[in-house]
Chains A and B, each alone.
Chain A
Amino acid sequence: MITAQDLTKRYGDRTVVTDLSFTVRPGTVTGFLGPNGAGKSTTMRMILGLDAPTRGHATIGDRSYAAHPAPLTEVGALLEARSVHPGRTAFHHLRALAHTHGIPKSRVEHVLGLTGLTEVADRRVKGYSLGMGQRLGIAAALLGDPATVILDEPVNGLDPEGVLWIRTLLKSLAAEGRTVLVSSHLMSETALTADHLVIIGRGRLLADTTVTDFVRRSGAGTVKVVTPQAADLVRHLTAPGVTVTAEGPGHLTVHGTDAEHIGRTAAAHGIPLFELTPSTASLEEAFMDLTHDAVEYPAALEGAAA
């Protein structure tokens, strides 16, 4: 379990992360979302003790990462920036890391096989593609058979096959009871693997929720209805799986059925409709709505159109 408590990081007069608190639980994949520059990488670096928080603290289980006697068996991490000497081979890179914990050579060979790097293990890393570099980073993260796995933008630079491989890997790691925290700036990608979501923008917590909840509240698949006989309509629409939320006098948001059914129901009972609008907001749009004010350098779309 990862616990972040009031994490704050300032570089000079620039505050990158502000009073960030959240918990990542075992057995689930937690998506760590935010636009570029939201502070995701900085937060992960603070969890790993690479950066010291200006205020607050992060713990893995009962203590800070650095206080664990065998850190690589507690947390395995893939950081966004490449963390390998390009002149060393993948095998020797992993072997050197393994030596610090007395991890046997057989485990190095195992993680090389797991990440599909066995055949290139004796090549120097400088010749690796972006995808192979990511795989090596993941091999290093799994080296200590850690209880917690932290991956910063793991699908970056991966081909579709690699992306699929990551999704399967994340799910199987969580199914084994591990704590998995994976960052991304893509909601749609994260929704495919994550159960839980921690969303930040400009270093502040925007949402700490489940994927199911986020999808429900995002408005995807809902219909907006305006009618003077709201109470009547609600009565006739009531059915298993259909939820109706009153947004104001005469304004309803209907979830679980479509505009056609609502229109026919209203007509059948002589209920006038002033508005009947299916919401087309996608998951990605809902995410962008949430983080819009927190984007570091918003693109001037409106200005360009005018």
Chain B
Amino acid sequence: MTTATTVRPHRVTPARVLRSEWHKLWTIRSTWINLVATSALTLGMGVGISAAYDGTGEGGLDTVVFVLLGTQFATINLAVLGILATAGEYSTGQIRATMTAVPRRLPVLWAKAAVLAAVALPLCLWTNLLTFPLAQAFLTDTDQSAALGDPGVLRGLAGNAAALTLLTVMALGLGAVTRSIPIATGTYIGLVMIVPEVLSMLPYAVVDDAVGYFPAQALESLTAARPAPDALSPGAALLALALWAAVSLAAAATTLRRRDV
């Protein structure tokens, strides 16, 4: 009765696992809501604060950082998407089906990270490239006025997208390590928003330097068209974020191999 359609023994390959994870991502409604919201919030905030800007008072802020203030929502939204991709499978039980299909386990982690990065990077890049000119339309004749061709602007817009992508991958790793949506979210928010704030209150210069390498600080260094003199260089910031993502993924891989599903 089950042999009516013949199924030839098909091997599991990395490309097939990738295709499976791609399919999984797009067949959950919350993915669409999350991505549309991420893009809309960046665009809306950028245009909104630019339209309301009276031309003074924000002189200290970098132009790209100012226009992309809405990407602060993206640092949370995309992280949630990453956490749902891993920790979410444990909370629903889906992980048992996933790991039964791919019992070698690790290809699933790499596929999830690759799929999410392949979605987050272009989404953030296009959103940023759209937000900047639209916001600038309201900023002519202010101290925040700049053009796409100005030094550092394109690099800042692209750097921001790269940083957000790496943060998403880092969050995905946290989800796989903790296997819990609330714990992973808490850890992420602590690491990105709370710990560096607390550390920077300490009166030691060495701590101040170290804080610059934290995810949110590296993100800002990477976003700025003209990085502040005491901040990391864009190259160093990108490297720091790549390391955060790599360490998180490595911890996730170790957990996945060693622990029972």
Residues of A within 8 A of B (CB): 45, 48-52, 65-66, 69-73, 77, 79, 81-89, 92-93, 95-97, 99-104, 106-107, 110-111, 114, 140, 142, 144-145, 172-173, 176
Contact = CB atoms under 8 A, between A and B. Distances in A.
Contacts of B88: 85
A72 B99 CA distance: 11
Given A52-B260, A92-B23, A106-B5, 16 more contacts: A50-B261, A69-B12, A70-B11, A81-B93, A81-B96, A83-B95, A83-B96, A83-B100, A85-B88, A92-B24, A97-B20, A99-B23, A103-B10, A107-B5, A144-B7, A145-B7
A106 to B, nearest CB: 6
A100 B12 contact: yes
A98 B30 CA distance: 22
B10 A84 contact: no
Interface string B16-29: 11011101100111
6 contacts: A72-B101, A84-B92, A87-B29, A97-B97, A172-B1, A173-B2
Interface in B71-114: 88-89, 92-97, 99-104
A97 B10 CA distance: 12
B27 A96 contact: yes
Given A92-B27, A103-B7, A86 B92 contact: yes
Contacts of A97: 20, 97, 101
Contacts of A93: 97
Contact of B27 (A72, A88, A111, A140): A88
A102 B16 contact: yes
Contact of B23 (A51, A83, A96): A96
A174 to B, nearest CB: 12
A2 to B, nearest CB: 15
Interface in B1-58: 1-7, 9-13, 16-17, 19-21, 23-24, 27-30
Nearest to B21: A96
A99 B20 contact: yes
Given A69-B11, A96-B23, A114 B101 contact: no
Contact of B16 (A49, A87, A99, A114): A99
A87 B30 contact: yes
Given A70-B9, A73-B10, A99-B16, A49 B103 contact: yes
B103 to A, nearest CB: 4
A104 B16 CA distance: 12
Contacts of B6: 145
Given A66-B103, A73-B7, A82-B93, A88 B28 contact: yes
Contact of A145 (B2, B99, B102): B2
A92 B23 CA distance: 8
A17 to B, nearest CB: 13
A303 B91 CA distance: 40
A111 B4 CA distance: 10
Contact of B101 (A92, A101, A142, A176): A101
Given A71-B103, A99-B19, A101-B10, A51 B260 contact: yes
B5 A110 contact: yes
A13 B251 CA distance: 26
B94 A85 contact: yes
Contacts of A102: 10-11, 13, 16
Interface in B214-261: 260-261
Given A50-B96, A100-B17, A144-B7, A88 B24 contact: yes
A72 to B, nearest CB: 6
Contacts of B13: 102
Nearest to B28: A87
Contacts of B27: 88-89, 92, 95-96
Nearest to A87: B28
Nearest to B92: A85
A127 to B, nearest CB: 13
B106 to A, nearest CB: 11
A100 B101 contact: yes
B223 to A, nearest CB: 33
Centre residue among B3, B88, B92 by max chain A CB count within 10 A: B92
Q: In the A-B complex, list the 7 residue pairs whose CB atoms are closest, starting with the nearest.
A: A66-B103, A99-B20, A92-B27, A83-B96, A102-B10, A83-B97, A145-B7
A50 B100 contact: yes
A102 B19 CA distance: 9
Contacts of A73: 7, 9-10
A144 B11 CA distance: 11
A48 B17 contact: no
A95 B93 contact: no
Given A71-B103, A99-B23, A103-B10, A85 B28 contact: yes
